[in-house]
Amino acid sequence: MLRSYLLLALVISLQFPALAEGGDPPAETKSETIPPGYVFGVTVNSIKDLDVILNRADSLRELFDPDQHGRIAIVLHGEELRLFQKDNYAANQSIVERARLLDQENVIDIKACQTQMRFLEIEASELPEFIEQVPFAPVEIERLEKEHGFTRL
């Protein structure tokens, strides 16, 4: 665990040297758009597995400020999409609300693959509004990498 924190600190210090020295970022950096973030393709089969992913994202909140170091895009493209269906809300309320809170606090952006939604027969209106729907997960992941400089996790 300590090794992970040290590695993360090294990456941050290389990307943001002024912050590593305790100073403010250069003026030109402050006015730029939000820095690139991280993208993670998710295919899990249980609420427990999704909870592990949200726990990890929540723990990252303490390590970095998304406004300075980018956000984490979580692209859902498996059975976990069913957990977010409105008909399943009562059974999965805690995980849905947790995901909503992380999204509202700008820690993560949750995206849903519409191709997988069609395969699972999930209508667009069945997912909460905070989940952005994208045409095809692999293309969205690649787009975030190429167009926005995201790092794939």
Structural domain for 25, as ranges? 1-32
Q: What is the pLDDT of residues 72-110, one digit of tens each?
A: 899 999 999 999 999 999 999 999 999 999 999 888 999
**Count, residues in the chain:** 153
Pair 48, 94 in one domain: yes
Provide the sign of the torsion angle of the four alpha carbons 108, 114, 116, 117, taken in this order.
positive
Pair 55, 17 in one domain: no
Distances (CA, A) of 34 to 30, 68, 138: 9, 7, 23
Pair 111, 127 in one domain: yes
Total domains in the fold of the chain: 2
Q: What is the pLDDT of residues 16-63, one digit of tens each?
A: 444 344 444 444 443 356 678 889 899 998 999 999 999 988 887 677
Q: What is the pTM of this model?
A: 0.74
Pair 39, 28 in one domain: no
Instruction: Give CA angle at 2 (6, 16), nearest 5°.
Output: 20
Which residues partner with 39 through β-bridges? 73, 152
Pair 40, 115 in one domain: yes
Q: What is the pLDDT of residues 11-25, one digit of tens each?
A: 444 444 443 444 444
Identify whether the C-beta of residue 69 lies closer than 8 Å to the C-beta of residue 75: no
